[in-house]
Structure 1
Amino acid sequence: MSDWSLRLARREDAESFHAVEDDAASLLREEPSLTGIPVPPSTSAAEYRAMIAKGYCLTATADSEVVGFAACGPVGRELHLNEISVARSQQGKGIGAGLLEALAVDARNNGFHAITLNTYRDIPWNAPFYARHGFVEVENFEGRTHLAESLEAAVALGMPRERRCAMIRFLDQLSA
Structure 2
Amino acid sequence: MKTIENGVNLQMNTIVVRRAEFEDITNINQIEKRAGNAFSSMPMDFLCSLPQEIPLHSYGFYEKKIRSNELFVAEIENKVVGFICISNINEESAIHVSEFAVDYTYQKRRIGFQLINVVIELAKKKHKSITLTTFSNVPWNAPFYEKLGFVTIDKSQLNERLVLLLAQESEMGLPKEYRCAMRLWVS
Q: TM-score, normalised by structure 1?
A: 0.89
Give the paired residue count.
169
- Superposition RMSD in Å: 1.5
Would the aligned equivalents of 1:18 and 1:48 in 2 still touch at CA under 8 Å? no
Gaps of 5+ in 2: 1-11
Would the aligned equivalents of 1:24 and 1:86 in 2 still touch at CA under 8 Å? yes
Secondary structure in structure 1 of the residue aligned to 2:82: strand
Would the aligned equivalents of 1:28 and 1:34 in 2 still touch at CA under 8 Å? no
Change (3 A) 1:99 1:131: same
Secondary structure in structure 1 of the residue aligned to 2:123: helix
What residue is the counterpart of 1:17 in the other structure? Answer: 28
How far apart are residue 29 of structure 1 and its match?
5.1
Amino acid at match of 1:123: V
Would the aligned equivalents of 2:153 and 2:183 in 1 still touch at CA under 8 Å? yes
Identity %: 29
How far apart are residue 34 of structure 1 and its match?
2.2
Matched, 1:157 2:172: yes
Amino acid at match of 1:154: E
- Output the CA distance in 2 between the equivalents of 1:11 and 1:29: 31
Gaps of 5+ in 1: none
What residue is the counterpart of 2:182 in the other structure? Answer: 167
Secondary structure in structure 2 of the residue aligned to 1:35: helix
Would the aligned equivalents of 2:39 and 2:47 in 1 still touch at CA under 8 Å? no
What residue is the counterpart of 2:80 in the other structure? Answer: 66
What residue is the counterpart of 1:48 in the other structure? Answer: 62
Secondary structure in structure 1 of the residue aligned to 2:96: strand
Would the aligned equivalents of 1:17 and 1:45 in 2 still touch at CA under 8 Å? no
Question: Structure 1 runs of 4+ off > 6 angstroms?
Answer: none
What residue is the counterpart of 1:4 in the other structure? Answer: 15
- Output the CA distance in 1 between the equivalents of 2:46 and 2:87: 28
Amino acid at match of 1:43: H
- Output the CA distance in 2 between the equivalents of 1:123 and 1:154: 16
Amino acid at match of 1:8: R
Taking the TM superposition and a 5 Å limit, the aligned residue runs for 1:79-158 are 79-109=95-125, 111-139=126-154, 140-141=157-158, 144-158=159-173
Q: TM-score, normalised by structure 2?
A: 0.84
